[in-house]
């Protein structure tokens, strides 16, 4: 008798969902402050200005298009940039130094 190959997917999916639900840890809940109590303790407000991480625009001098093309040709063109991007994506993370 040939069984449908998809017939085993539902039991495996259900078992995975049950295992994932059981693996979750309980997070202790902090009691919420009563919104009607004016004396309730609340966390301090923290203000971060909208432009705190703003970096000023720095205008660069335009170069001649022929000079820009020659520079790209000398560095290897788009293939060089693609190679750098692929090497950076495959590079292993730096090893952590052991604590003394």
Place of tokens 């991007």: 85
| Cα separation, 68 vs 75, whole angstroms | 11
Place of tokens 């109590």: 37
Main-chain phi, psi angles of 80, to 5 degrees:
-65, -45
- pLDDT bin (cut points 50, 70, 90) of residue 5 is low
DSSP classification of residue 8: G
Rounded CA-CA distance 20/14 in Å is 10
pTM of the model: 0.28
Between CA 68 and CA 61 the distance in angstroms is 12
What phi and psi values does residue 77 have, to the nearest 5 degrees?
A: 70, -160
Tokens at 58, concatenated: 């720095």
- What confidence tens digit (pLDDT) does each residue in 7-30 have? 778 888 888 888 888 777 777 777
pLDDT tens digits, 26-73: 777 777 778 898 888 888 889 999 999 998 888 888 889 999 999 888
């Amino acid at each position: 008798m040939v069984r449908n190959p998809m017939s085993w997917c539902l039991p495996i999916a259900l078992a995975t969902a049950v295992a994932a639900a059981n693996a979750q840890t309980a997070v202790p809940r902090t009691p919420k402050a009563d919104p009607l109590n004016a004396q309730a303790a609340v966390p301090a407000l923290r203000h971060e200005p909208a432009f705190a991480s703003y970096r000023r625009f720095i205008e660069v001098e335009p170069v001649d298009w022929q000079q820009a093309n020659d520079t790209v040709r000398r560095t290897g063109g788009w293939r060089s940039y693609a190679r750098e991007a692929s090497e950076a994506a495959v590079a292993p993370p730096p090893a952590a130094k052991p604590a003394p």
